[in-house]
Structure 1
């Protein structure tokens, strides 16, 4: 009798609990349906994309690797291809990608806050990156100007930093890392057909609008008839990919026949782009990658330098000949005038594009107007987003048309000051040291090769911060930056935990 009563009570209690859960689910479903219905009737693509990203992100909370895949695919392929055909929705798509990036960051922080073992083995540059982010947020809150400036500035700066932390702490399987590497190689290989398409079909449309036909070259890194292409960002990514291929071939990990097959496909888009900085970045990559061979095995290093010089000469001939033809057709002047003009808007006093400042004068202008006569701003800047022209930062409004946020370095100086720039540069310095330790200590040739290639990538990043602002703004390039450093953190943590015989070693 008692047993029957007990079973009945438990059964009744279970049914009651199930009913409560059912009612909660139904209520939540009705509320969500109403909310998403309201989102839909707004007909605002940004709100709708954010709602979809929020729903998908909630489902993916327990699958951070899936979020990484979404970011890589949407950011490096879809986000760059869609603007070719539907340029007006590119910004809305990138908002959704940014939301996924912040969701990934949230998951990573929750994981390491709950598990002390997950924090073990993380390289110092990861903690400096976290410190820079905390400093940027607190510094901007102390110097509060407006909610819009703070939120948009934070979004642009850190929208892909979640990928950096996730690769360090959340990815534990070798298989996932191998798949990411294969995907990134695939992204490098598909640049060629997209660049050819842009050159043949989009270039004439750009020229018909009065622009330069080669301004639309950007592969899958973002391009549009009106906005132009992110050719410099694509070029840096392809050079990094080439560095990985060269480093692996140098360590006899990549067979020579595969290298001969893959490397021309990776390099070919560079011949069609108009990134003049390639003449600096390509030798820089080779010098970093083969610096020891040049000193210890001069004949081996000489072969690499000859190969590099040959590429530079061919690229230079193609680009300069194409530019000369353009200038001749437009009667813009002689070829020597082109060279002089290129130097004038990069090194001398002429402004870049429609700005009063260029990549050199933007630094001297900051020193003159934000120098030691204003110690607080000199040291700590003016807050996130303050120098951004596109969103009307309060410092940018003070200097309309100057382009004070033209490069990553100038933007950091205006926004974060000398102290913030120092923290940001420290990330690269410590990442270099981390990669150097892996290159010296690891017994695995693949790790040594990838560490050497990452050092070449860091060298390119160091040049890039004086060249463009994309590291703080362009989603596709921020993915490259975060993936390279995140992969380095994964390799380093794996190495440290293995040498200390720790059970937290990624499997």
Structure 2
């Protein structure tokens, strides 16, 4: 009798919820607002995806690395909507991962320190922004931009992904690296001439910036050429690291390297002449002591490649080579502003010290809240056309202060230590190779935060950042489990 009453209660509850949901979605439908209707539809899809987090991961990867970056060139009106869809999936994945770690002691046991610091940084920025509340758009927009795909970090570390899943993920990322070449060539052949004809209508527009592969570009604005180049150099590090461990044959390595590095010559990303030697020095730093001749041979190849890339970039300009070099130094190191801004990549930091120094200790230490330095943000309005958020470093300092900036840098420091521990302790060639490559990628990311803002704003590049940290967390968990099973 009691079982029948229980079944009836469940039945009535389901009926009640169904009726209420039908009424609610009826109200959504009559609004005729595409955003509200889209969010309502996303809620239903999200409830289905709750039981399949691996599907969410793949949707985020496919949409962010193959769709959202290309939409502005082909279907600009869909670009923002697609990006919002990926953001919703990212936060849903974060909710699932945080729920799992809160209920699982095993997940907490195998979590490396840099993951906890990443979580602490996210919580700090949210609490700090709520306390300093500037506006709804600043806080919510800033949180969305910063953390829209950080769910990947926590999901790869805390949810159950086996070696089979990770093998598919590695293959997918290699495919993403390989297809940059055809897309970059297409953008160079089709869109660069169009932008060259229009550049007088858009002051500051650089035609070659549209060559960003699948990472993003717009017909009249900027592009993610720097992000594409950084990703490709990171992939080069993974290939070279695997060759060092004997996991890739020489013939396969040469073929993959040629395809992956070719897009670096198609666009104009002068920072390659810094990033490529930096990657090589970090990756082969141990070989400098053990096998100096081996390191010297590789260094000669890298220097030759870097010089060829530099010459290619310089020769693409209508100006004299000396003038191009002077201009590059001026808008990066000296007094000239970058693009249409008053500040450049170095002046943006000294300007922050001058304006937010010790005379305002609260803002100096804790910043002004998320979104304050972005576009029409609270602080950005005080300095129009200055470009105070030109780089990730300056944005972090204005938004989160010295404390938040140090927390963010601590993620890289502890991730480096984690990768170093894996390289020293593991006897498995795959783990050793990927750990060494991750350290090289971390060095590139640290340099990058002083170079551009993409790690805090460009969706496709944020996915690469989150994947790198999440994959390192997964490697750490796998290594610890392997040690405990011996």
Is the structural similarity TM-score above 0.5? Answer: yes
Of 468, 473, 476, the residue aligned with 1:492 is: 476
Aligned partner of 1:439 in structure 2 is 423
State the 1:117 CA deviation.
1.6
Of 19, 30, 36, the residue aligned with 2:22 is: 30
Aligned partner of 1:404 in structure 2 is 388
The answer to whether 1:130 aligns with 2:119 is yes
The C-alpha deviation readout for 1:424-474, integer Å capped at 9, x for no partner, is 101000100100010111010010000000000001001000000111111
**Contact 2:365-2:402 within 8 A present in 1 as well:** yes
**Contact 1:50-1:95 within 8 A present in 2 as well:** no
The answer to whether 1:384 aligns with 2:370 is yes
Spell out the pairing of 1:36-47 with structure 2 (5 A cutoff): 36-38=28-30, 41-42=32-33, 44=34, 46-47=35-36
Of 70, 73, 76, the residue aligned with 1:87 is: 76
Aligned partner of 1:505 in structure 2 is none
Of 432, 437, 453, the residue aligned with 1:453 is: 437
Distance 1:19 1:114, change over 3 A: closer
The unaligned stretches of length 5 or more in structure 2 are 200-204
> What SS does structure 1 have at the residue aligned with 2:427?
coil
State the 1:25 CA deviation.
5.8
Distance 1:89 1:227, change over 3 A: farther
The answer to whether 1:350 aligns with 2:313 is no
Aligned partner of 2:266 in structure 1 is 272
CA distance in 1, matches of 2:253, 2:221: 35
Aligned partner of 2:460 in structure 1 is 476
State the 1:257 CA deviation.
2.2
CA distance in 2, matches of 1:15, 1:453: 57
Aligned partner of 2:202 in structure 1 is none
CA distance in 2, matches of 1:465, 1:50: 33
CA distance in 2, matches of 1:279, 1:245: 19
CA distance in 1, matches of 2:369, 2:21: 40
State the 1:13 CA deviation.
4.9
**Contact 1:235-1:270 within 8 A present in 2 as well:** yes
Is the deviation greater in 52-61 or in 244-253?
52-61
The answer to whether 1:191 aligns with 2:180 is yes
Distance 1:26 1:243, change over 3 A: same
Aligned partner of 1:310 in structure 2 is 304
State the 1:421 CA deviation.
0.6
The answer to whether 1:301 aligns with 2:295 is yes
Aligned partner of 1:331 in structure 2 is none
CA distance in 1, matches of 2:371, 2:461: 19
The answer to whether 1:235 aligns with 2:225 is no
Of 389, 403, 414, the residue aligned with 2:398 is: 414
CA distance in 1, matches of 2:247, 2:24: 52
How many matched pairs? 481
State the 1:337 CA deviation.
1.5
**Contact 1:199-1:213 within 8 A present in 2 as well:** no
**Contact 1:357-1:404 within 8 A present in 2 as well:** yes
**Contact 1:217-1:228 within 8 A present in 2 as well:** no
**Contact 1:104-1:163 within 8 A present in 2 as well:** yes
Is the deviation greater in 78-87 or in 402-411?
78-87
CA distance in 2, matches of 1:63, 1:50: 19
Aligned partner of 1:117 in structure 2 is 106
> What SS does structure 1 have at the residue aligned with 2:235?
helix
Of 233, 244, 251, the residue aligned with 2:238 is: 244
Aligned partner of 2:275 in structure 1 is 281
State the 1:268 CA deviation.
0.7
CA distance in 2, matches of 1:49, 1:299: 60
Question: Could you say what the CA RMSD is over the residues aligned between the two structures, in angstroms?
Answer: 1.7
**Contact 1:98-1:160 within 8 A present in 2 as well:** yes
State the 1:55 CA deviation.
2.4
The unaligned stretches of length 5 or more in structure 1 are 1-5, 328-333, 503-507
State the 1:20 CA deviation.
2.4
Distance 1:83 1:48, change over 3 A: farther
**Contact 1:355-1:402 within 8 A present in 2 as well:** yes
> What SS does structure 2 have at the residue aligned with 1:356?
coil
CA distance in 2, matches of 1:91, 1:215: 20
The C-alpha deviation readout for 1:115-172, integer Å capped at 9, x for no partner, is 1122111110000111111111111111111122111111111111111010100133
Distance 1:373 1:118, change over 3 A: same
The answer to whether 1:152 aligns with 2:152 is no
Of 340, 343, 346, the residue aligned with 2:326 is: 340
Aligned partner of 1:175 in structure 2 is 164
CA distance in 1, matches of 2:400, 2:180: 35
State the 1:19 CA deviation.
4.7
**Contact 2:367-2:398 within 8 A present in 1 as well:** yes
Aligned partner of 2:378 in structure 1 is 394
- For normalisation by structure 2, the TM-score amounts to 0.95
State the 1:290 CA deviation.
0.6
The answer to whether 1:369 aligns with 2:355 is yes
State the 1:192 CA deviation.
0.7
Of 249, 257, 263, the residue aligned with 1:255 is: 249
CA distance in 2, matches of 1:438, 1:22: 50
CA distance in 2, matches of 1:74, 1:19: 39
State the 1:21 CA deviation.
5.5
CA distance in 2, matches of 1:237, 1:486: 16
Distance 1:50 1:440, change over 3 A: same
- For normalisation by structure 1, the TM-score amounts to 0.91
> What SS does structure 1 have at the residue aligned with 2:445?
helix
